Amino acid sequence: MNLPGPFRTISTDRAEVASGRLRYTDILMPSEKLQLIPLGGLGEFGMNCLALRYGDDIIVIDAGLMFPEEELLGVDIVVPDISYLIENRDKVRAILLTHGHEDHIGGLPWILSELNVPVYGTEFTLAYVEGKLDEHRLLDDADLIELQPGRRVTIGPFSVMPIRVTHSLVDCVALAVHTPVGIVLHTGDFKIDLSSPDGHPFDLQAFADLGKQGVLCLLQDSTNVDRPGFTPGEKAVIPRLDDIFAAAPRKLFFSCFSSSIHRMKIAMDLAHKHGRKVALIGRSIDNSAEIAQDLGYLEPPPGLLINPGQIRDYAPNQLCILISGTQGEPMSALSRAAVDNHKHAKIDPGDTVLLSSRIIPGNEKAIYRVIDHLERRDARVISDDGTNGLIHVSGHGSQEELRMMINLVRPKFFVPVHGDYRHLKRHIELAKATGVPEKVILLEDGEVLTLDKDHAEKTGKVTTGRVCIDNNSTADVVGDTVIRDRKHLGADGLFLPIIAINRATGEVEGMPEITTRGFAADDPELLRNARDIVVRTLESSNDVERRDYGVIKDKIRADLKRFLQKNANRRPMIMPIILEI
């Protein structure tokens, strides 16, 4: 059948359609082009969010957050600007999640408060999502749909096949998105672990099958592109951890990421082997363990787990305490225990504290502060120095795994994702060196990559950026002005001239007062001269100006700004306060 216009001509044998070899979208699909639009995660670690658009249909892969840098004063989380999705809200069909880490699901409450679309994820991922949405009172209206590895789901013109991958979290998938122009493979976060502790190894065969079908574009995790070789499997930590369990003379405090279900399972197995009871301390680690037990990823032997209140009932060498706070978070259980301020977790001289995690860049000071407190309590602290064996392994593939994936699926086009610009660039160089992709493309947030069966070109840019949120609330968005004011206050402090004005006459009542906060110049003469400046400004203003509080505040602010910059070389935030009499 020959179709007019932009439609392509294909066989329409009814038997083929009935057998399922052809779908409706194959029969009558305009020859549109596919667009890949990263909204976050390409140029920073975190905020992972990618839109795929074909015609009037958009699906979104991941909806992550990132934690703020130091200069974002008072900000709790940062999520991607989704202006593009909001502008095209009628076209957004679904959000698909690769796994349950915060940099992939943490932005969901923000996005779903603007776009109530179905969310697809694996069973464990959705369990994390449910808790997050319930906390933000969005769960009742959410449409959560389970993904199962090996089972396709169809969303508009997209047919999505989840593929099992291994990572530092359980139940993670890559997404092979079958589109009318070809297969786009998004790896999510992955490493190639063929002996995963949960019994679900990396599905090499599924990726090899994709390579035989032909992959149009591979989007691959760049996190560990700097690391040569292969990333060790999760079980690689067992020998060293076994030695530590055997040698610990007293209580053993075991701290890892609360999402590290593999590591928690290994810790529980070793505790059982060495005759130690296990107590879980910390809300995040307790919640994760509960979800993992409900879904069968943790199956501790009967009697292994005890309540924190039972710790005092056992000898110190019979205890293993799984405790949250591996990154030195100020209010975490480990941080409070380190300063002897936790109800159940008491660290005594001779206890062992094991930090089975990596240091996330930016957290160094907080972690070393906690370690200092632990050392003051004469605890033995073991962190990941790598000198005596592994106590932590990464969840991301290193260079050889990245090369293996490229050679396995043999994509026509290649785009690195998840990382700072330098990681993306080095990943481009690695992909070129394999000689496999016909074309490698370095994309950044907001750039639009347009693909058909034979071409891939950047064709424009959409609005992207960072949205800062206070108090972990979808309502408390912090703008650039607020951040600038916070920096201003932090650098030069606050200058508060207080003036009493008679509302009826516009006359100044009494002498103005000057109050400061965080203003470094503690000079009584400077403050007296500043008060004289305010008096002169008021005297030089007429009654109408003094009655217009907006005008008089601006005049006072301008005159004081000039005076303080000249006489104190400071630029505090000046906030005149008018008291009506």
452-465 CB burial, b ≥16 within 10 A, e <16: eeeebeeeeebebe
Query: 384 among the known binding-site residues?
Result: no
* Cβ neighbours around 331 below 10 Å, total: 7
Concerning whether 396 is annotated as a catalytic residue, the answer is yes
Query: 372 among the known binding-site residues?
Result: no
Q: Spell out the alpha helix ranges (H) of 29-146.
A: 83-87, 102-105, 108-114, 123-135
For tokens 């005594």, what's the residue? 348
Dihedral pair phi/psi, residue 148, rounded to 5°? -125, 130
Q: Angle, to 10 degrees, between the axis of helix 524-539 and the axis of helix 549-567?
A: 140
∠ Cα 33 34 35 (to 5°): 120
The answer to whether 107 and 79 are in contact (CB under 8 A) is yes
The answer to whether 475 and 483 are in contact (CB under 8 A) is no
How many Cα neighbours within 13 Å face the side chain of 515? 6
Dihedral pair phi/psi, residue 573, rounded to 5°? -75, 125
Of 342, 373, 396, 423, which is the active-site residue? 396
Strand extents, DSSP E, 317-446: 319-323, 352-355, 380-382, 413-417, 439-440
Query: 262 among the known binding-site residues?
Result: no
In 3D, which of 163, 138, 134, 136 has the Cα closest to residue 151?
163
∠ Cα 416 419 420 (to 5°): 115
Query: 136 among the known binding-site residues?
Result: no
In terms of Cβ atoms closer than 10 Å to its own Cβ (0-12, 13-18, 19+), residue 479 is exposed
Query: 522 among the known binding-site residues?
Result: no
Q: Angle, to 10 degrees, between the axis of helix 399-409 and the axis of helix 421-434?
A: 50
In 3D, which of 209, 126, 139 has the Cα closest to residue 171?
126
The answer to whether 377 and 338 are in contact (CB under 8 A) is yes
Characterise 273 by phi-psi region: left (phi > 0), alpha (psi -120 to 50), beta (else). Answer: alpha
Query: 186 among the known binding-site residues?
Result: no
The answer to whether 171 and 99 are in contact (CB under 8 A) is yes
Query: 140 among the known binding-site residues?
Result: no
Of 81, 221, 269, 559, which is the active-site residue? 221
* CA dist., res. 141 & res. 44, Å (int): 31
Query: 455 among the known binding-site residues?
Result: no
Which tokens sit at 44? 């920073």
Q: CB within 8 A of 35, min separation 6: which ones?
A: 51, 52, 53, 54, 448, 449, 450, 451, 459
Query: 189 among the known binding-site residues?
Result: yes
Q: CB within 8 A of 475, min separation 6: which ones?
A: none
Which tokens sit at 496? 């508060």
Dihedral pair phi/psi, residue 30, rounded to 5°? -65, 150
* CA dist., res. 137 & res. 473, Å (int): 11
In 3D, which of 350, 325, 320 has the Cα closest to residue 338?
325
Instruction: Transcribe 458-502 into DSSP letters.
Output: EEEE----EEEESTT-TT-EE-HHHHHHHHHHHHH-EEEEEEEE-
Query: 342 among the known binding-site residues?
Result: no
Query: 188 among the known binding-site residues?
Result: no
Annotated binding site for Ca(2+): 470
Annotated binding site for substrate: 392-396
Annotated active-site positions, please? Answer: 221, 396
Annotated binding site: 74, 76, 99, 101, 103-104, 167, 189, 392-396, 418, 470
